[in-house]
Amino acid sequence: MASSTASPTTATIFAYQVGFGDCLLVRFEYANSTSRHILIDFGTTGLPEDVASAQMTVIAKDIEEKCGGKLDAVVATHRHADHISGFATKTNGQGSGDIIRALAPKVVIQPWTETPDLAIDAEAPATGHRKRLSAYAVGRVRMNDMAKLVVRQLDAKGSGFSKSLAGSIRFIGEDNIANESAVKNLATMSKKNVYTYHGGPSGLDAILPGVKTRVLGPPTLKQSDTIRKQRSRDADEFWQLQLTNLRADAEATGQNGDLFPAHPTRSGGKLPRDARWLADRMKDARGDQMLQIVRALDKQMNNTSLILLFEAGKKKLLFPGDAQIENWQYALSKDDIAELLASVDVYKVGHHGSLNATPKSLWAAFKKRGNQSKTGRLKTVLSTMPGKHGTEAAKTEVPRRTLLSALQSESELHSTHTLDRTKLYEEIRIDLR
């Protein structure tokens, strides 16, 4: 056992090859040869073509081996499938989530937005906001319903969208459908669950001696309000509207005269020639609107990500999940936090390298950025797979080319997308002294 005052001397990050997803095992080693293991996320929404389909099980077994059958903590930054799908269990007990569960983590840490029964009896992180919390919880359910509905609609014949558009919508839609098995496993695999927020308890103080863990995000609703005077409409209202209309849209498909039953119509297959040009475009435009809505949904979920900053020895390690600017804003508005972030040594690149998840002000503030000759150069860890998310034409591809180029030239980049196919993970050792 490490003494309660000793600091770890080394940190090792194992960034597993999960394709488009995150799975990071962090090992803190102490001078007395003991170590602590924290698993930060375990999910994928698309494995590389050249890895076996049993990859997630293989990874779970490797994690089991690396931590000696005992995991100290599990962190699930947010509920997107590419961050938690690996926690799903199987009825035969052989799922990757079953293996992790058997490692009996002492604590599972998640954002406050995952508090079970948030609407009813949660210890609200921001008191006096029960009504809004309740609205948030309802909104969360509706967002999930929406994602399911979108995917179901794509499954139905005659959605009318182009293949590429349907593919983009499906990818985001599926990522946003809560994996109920994984959610349940996370809620029950440990005796202790911590649901936290900016400035809240990390749940790791006792588990990681000598390591200070700060929770920088997500902000609570109340905290968000302090930086944005004009509050956004409650999530439940907005998503209720979207959900209702998505349902109506799904039901309208193929139905004649739904809006004006008494009015004569012509079906889309028999349009007069003067209507065809626009009609084709309108079908695409409708798909585009759906894509925009699922993107908004995706972003809102990304912004529930936990942002953790580990201060161990002389080093700072930053793990922001998929947090985007709206989540970061509250932390970045605090001078002391902005100062801390400037001296970060290791940065887990947010949201698989999308442009919006690494705020320019954050990247610009990293003082340890620099070329290869820079002493104590910033290390960056990227878990990603190109070709799954966004398009180059729209400059929304993930990882974003310009960010990737900056990561390559201004930091020591470790990315899973360049891993040799024979390797299961990228290993990054950090001397904390």
Partner 1 sequence: MGGNTQRLTILAQDPATRIAGKLVLASVEVPHEILADGPVGYRVKVVDFNASSNVLYRPFHYKYDADGNVIDPFALPNKTLSDAARVAFDAKLLADPNFHAQHTYAVVMRILARFEYALGRRVKWGFDGHQLHIAPHAFCEANAFYSEEDRALLFGYFYGKSKEPVFTCLSHDIVAHETTHALLDGLRNRYTDASGPDQAAFHEGFSDVVALLSMFSLKPIVRLALTQGKGKAKIKSERGVNLINGDYLTASAIADSILFGIGEEFGQRLEGVRANALRRSVKLPPSKRYLSDPDKEESHDRGEVFAAAFLRTFLALWVARIEQLGTFGANRYNVDMVVDEGAKVAEQLLTMAIRALDYCPPVDIVFSQYLAALLTVDREVAPDDSRFDYRVIIRKTFASYGIEPPKTHTDASGCWKDFDPQIQITYSKTHFESMLRDEEEVFRFLWENRASLNIDDRGYLQVISVRPSTRQGPDGFILRETICEYIQIAELFGAELKAVLGFERPDGMRTTQRIRAYGGGVLAFDQYGRIKYHIERRLDDVVSQQARLEFLWKNGYLDQPRDARNQFAAIHRARAQCC
**Residues engaged in binding partner 1 (CB under 8 A):** 158, 160, 228-230, 232-233, 238, 241-242, 244-245, 248-249, 252-260, 262-269, 271-272, 274-275, 278-279, 281-283, 285-286, 288-289, 292-293, 296, 355-356, 360-361, 363-365, 393-395, 402, 406, 409
Residue number with CB closer to partner 1 (128 or 272): 272
Instruction: Locate 56 and state its tokens.
Output: 């997630």
For residue 379, the SS3 value is strand
Minimum distance between the CB of residue 130 and partner 1, rounded to whole angstroms? 23
Identify any residues that bridge with 37 across adjacent strands, giving them in sequence order: 27
DSSP collapsed to 3 states, 134-146: HHHHHHHHHHHHH
Residue number with CB closer to partner 1 (170 or 299): 299
Residue number with CB closer to partner 1 (55 or 300): 300
Identify any residues that bridge with 40 across adjacent strands, giving them in sequence order: 24, 75
Helix (H) or strand (E) holding 348: strand 346-348
Minimum distance between the CB of residue 317 and partner 1, rounded to whole angstroms? 21
Pairing between β-strand 307-312 and β-strand 315-319 as defined by DSSP bridges: antiparallel
Instruction: Locate 17 and state its tokens.
Output: 């090859």
For residue 9, the SS3 value is strand
Nearest to 112 by CA among 189, 199, 44: 199
Residue number with CB closer to partner 1 (122 or 365): 365
Minimum distance between the CB of residue 156 and partner 1, rounded to whole angstroms? 13
Note whether 16 and 25 are within 8 A (CB). yes
Minimum distance between the CB of residue 191 and partner 1, rounded to whole angstroms? 40
Note whether 44 and 21 are within 8 A (CB). yes
Minimum distance between the CB of residue 177 and partner 1, rounded to whole angstroms? 21
Minimum distance between the CB of residue 17 and partner 1, rounded to whole angstroms? 29
Minimum distance between the CB of residue 212 and partner 1, rounded to whole angstroms? 27
Residue number with CB closer to partner 1 (32 or 244): 244
User: What value, to the nearest 5°, has the Cα angle with vertex 120 and ends 145 and 78?
Assistant: 50
Residue number with CB closer to partner 1 (210 or 219): 219
Residue number with CB closer to partner 1 (163 or 421): 163
Minimum distance between the CB of residue 150 and partner 1, rounded to whole angstroms? 13
Identify the residue whose tokens are 């891993």.
Answer: 419
Residue number with CB closer to partner 1 (133 or 332): 332
Residues 6+ apart with CB under 8 A from 285: none
CA dihedral over 221, 225, 228, 231, signed as positive or negative = positive
Minimum distance between the CB of residue 271 and partner 1, rounded to whole angstroms? 6
Cα–Cα distance between 296 and 313 in angstroms, integer? 39
Identify any residues that bridge with 148 across adjacent strands, giving them in sequence order: none
Residue number with CB closer to partner 1 (357 or 432): 357
C-alpha atoms less than 13 angstroms from C-alpha of 8 in its C-beta half-sphere: 25
